[in-house]
């Protein structure tokens, strides 16, 4: 006989489990938490394990609950000013640990590559090669899972704080060969291609720059929307300022799933740093440059872009979109 009485909940874990059952899994969690290997191993000093990755639905709910909870609990209280700092730290924790794992992964992949190049037909070599590949793949899985949670937390941060999250540091056959040897090479080739795309994404580049004090986000959004309509697979390049036009552009990129490249100043160039960066931006051969009125650095960039035959759009503060179609010059 089936009971119609509601299920009794006695702990926070049970609440999360019940809520998770009613939550759809995001596509990025489903892929990031997919297990590509049957057994995992973090180093040659640790044994293999059959432990699974966390349930993607539960991991997703954990991030959502913690991030939104910090803002909700402190809203309209004397602690509200600290909610954003705490939430930033939560995202940054994932970012820092993912970075540490990535460095371990790079070391493991380097060793795997060296082993793959020094082929030995012995059974001992085959076992060592398979172990090294398992370690590399385990670290890759861990990095991808934590990066997924970090990106989700950063997304919630952007919605709750009203500005994008950014870190303080840094911006993926010969018949004589054994099957495991070929598999190792295939894995390395696949991983190298993934990292190249992460660190050097391909697509038409749109450059945007402007003043560090800028309130007219509508004009910036409108210009970027127009650029994306013209180049749907665009990559956005900014001058990496944490406020003003660059911060607005970063928020737009996050909301529209556009890859962003932040060109920071190289202070080794001293007073010429801004002009050196302008040269680097021109060398990207962008399809368009959106210049929001700012300093002589922006004026210099606009002139360099025009000289290179790149379309330039000029935006002035509080200018209606219908008026700021800008000055363009076809390449």
Helical residues (DSSP H) of the chain, grouped into ranges: 12-21, 27-32, 56-74, 80-117, 123-161, 179-199, 217-230, 244-255, 273-283, 296-307
* pLDDT above 90: percentage of residues in the chain: 30
pLDDT at 188: 62
What is the predicted pLDDT for the residue at 269?
83
Q: What is the mean pLDDT of residues 56-83?
A: 92
Instruction: Give the pLDDT of residue 1.
Output: 45
Any domain includes 325 = no
For residue range 74-117, list pLDDT tens digits in order. 999 999 999 999 999 999 999 899 989 989 998 988 888 888 88
Is residue 327 assigned to a domain? no
Maximum C-alpha span of the chain: 82
Find out whether 145 and 33 touch, Cβ atoms under 8 Å: yes
* pLDDT tens column, 173-195: 334 444 444 555 666 666 666 66
- Would the pLDDT of 155 be above 90? no
Structural domain boundaries enclosing 122: 12-199
- How many other C-beta atoms can be found within 10 angstroms of the C-beta atom of residue 235? 21
- Asked if residue 264 lies in contact with residue 287, where contact means CB atoms within 8 angstroms, the answer is no
Query: Using one digit for the tens of pLDDT, what is the confidence trace for 126-145?
Result: 888 888 889 999 999 999 99
Asked whether residue 331 is domain-assigned, the answer is: no
300-317 pLDDT, tens digit each: 999 999 999 999 999 987
Judge if 157 and 209 occupy the same domain: no
**165, 217: one domain:** no
Q: Are residues 238 and 192 in the same domain?
A: no
pLDDT in tens, 195-231: 656 555 678 999 999 988 888 888 999 999 999 999 9
On whether both 186 and 265 belong to a single domain, the answer is: no
Note whether 105 and 213 are same-domain residues: no
**Mean pLDDT confidence for 269-285:** 89
Same domain, 92 and 195: yes
- Give the global pTM: 0.59
Q: What is the pLDDT of residue 169?
A: 56
pLDDT of 70 reads 92
Quickly state the pLDDT bin for 32 (edges 50, 70, 90): confident
Domain assignment of residue 324, yes or no: no
Bridge partner residues of 206 (DSSP): 236, 288
Looking at the structure, tell me whether residues 183 and 277 fall in a common domain. Answer: no
- According to DSSP, residue 309 is labeled T
Give the model's pLDDT for residue 158.
86
List the end-to-end C-alpha distance of the chain, in Å, as a whole number: 76
Domain containing 307 — which CATH number? Answer: 3.40.50.10770
Q: Picking from 27-36, 233-242, 307-316, 321-330, which range would have the lowest pLDDT averaged per residue?
A: 321-330
Residues 152 and 39 in one domain: yes
Domain identity same for 108 and 183: yes
Residues 141 and 238 in one domain: no
Residues 129 and 28 in one domain: yes
Q: Does residue 20 surpass a pLDDT of 80? A: no
Q: Is the pLDDT of residue 123 over 80?
A: yes
Phi-psi domain of 170 (left: phi exceeds 0; alpha: psi -120 through 50; beta: other): left
Number of domains in the chain: 2
Structural domain contains residue 143 = yes
User: Cα separation of 138 and 87, whole Å?
Assistant: 28
* Domain match, 209 and 232 both: yes
What pLDDT, on a 0 to 100 scale, did the predictor assign at position 2? 46
Q: Which residues contact 240 (CB under 8 A, 6 or more apart)?
A: 246, 262, 263, 264, 265
């Amino acid at each position: 006989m089936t009971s119609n009485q509601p299920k009794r909940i006695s702990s926070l874990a049970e609440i999360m489990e019940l809520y998770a059952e009613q939550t759809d899994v995001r596509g990025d969690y489903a892929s990031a938490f997919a297990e590509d290997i049957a057994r995992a191993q973090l180093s040659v000093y640790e044994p293999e394990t059959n432990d699974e990755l966390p349930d993607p639905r539960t991991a997703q709910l954990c991030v959502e609950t913690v991030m939104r909870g910090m803002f909700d609990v402190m809203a309209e209280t004397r602690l509200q000013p600290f909610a954003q700092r705490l939430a930033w730290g939560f995202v940054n924790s994932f970012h820092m640990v993912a970075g540490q794992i990535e460095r371990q992964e790079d070391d493991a992949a380097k060793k795997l590559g060296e082993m793959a190049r020094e082929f030995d037909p012995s059974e001992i070599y085959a076992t060592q090669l398979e172990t090294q590949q398992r370690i590399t793949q385990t670290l890759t899985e861990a990095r991808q899972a934590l990066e997924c949670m970090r990106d989700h937390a950063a997304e919630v941060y952007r919605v709750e704080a009203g500005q994008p999250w950014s870190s303080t540091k840094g911006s993926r056959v010969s018949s004589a060969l054994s099957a495991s040897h070929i598999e190792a090479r295939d894995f390395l080739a696949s991983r190298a291609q993934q990292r190249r795309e992460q660190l050097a994404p391909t697509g038409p580049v749109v450059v945007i720059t402007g003043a560090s004090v800028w309130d007219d986000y509508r004009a910036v959004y409108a210009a970027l929307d127009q650029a994306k309509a013209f180049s749907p697979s665009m990559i956005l390049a900014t001058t990496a300022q944490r406020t003003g036009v660059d911060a607005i552009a970063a928020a737009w990129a996050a909301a529209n799933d556009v890859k962003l490249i932040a060109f920071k100043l190289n202070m080794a160039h001293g007073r010429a740093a801004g002009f050196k960066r302008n040269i680097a931006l021109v060398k990207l051969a962008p399809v368009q440059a959106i210049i929001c009125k700012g300093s002589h650095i922006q004026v210099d960039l606009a002139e360099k872009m025009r000289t290179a035959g790149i379309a330039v759009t000029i935006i002035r503060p509080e200018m209606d979109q219908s008026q700021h179609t800008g000055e363009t010059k076809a390449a």
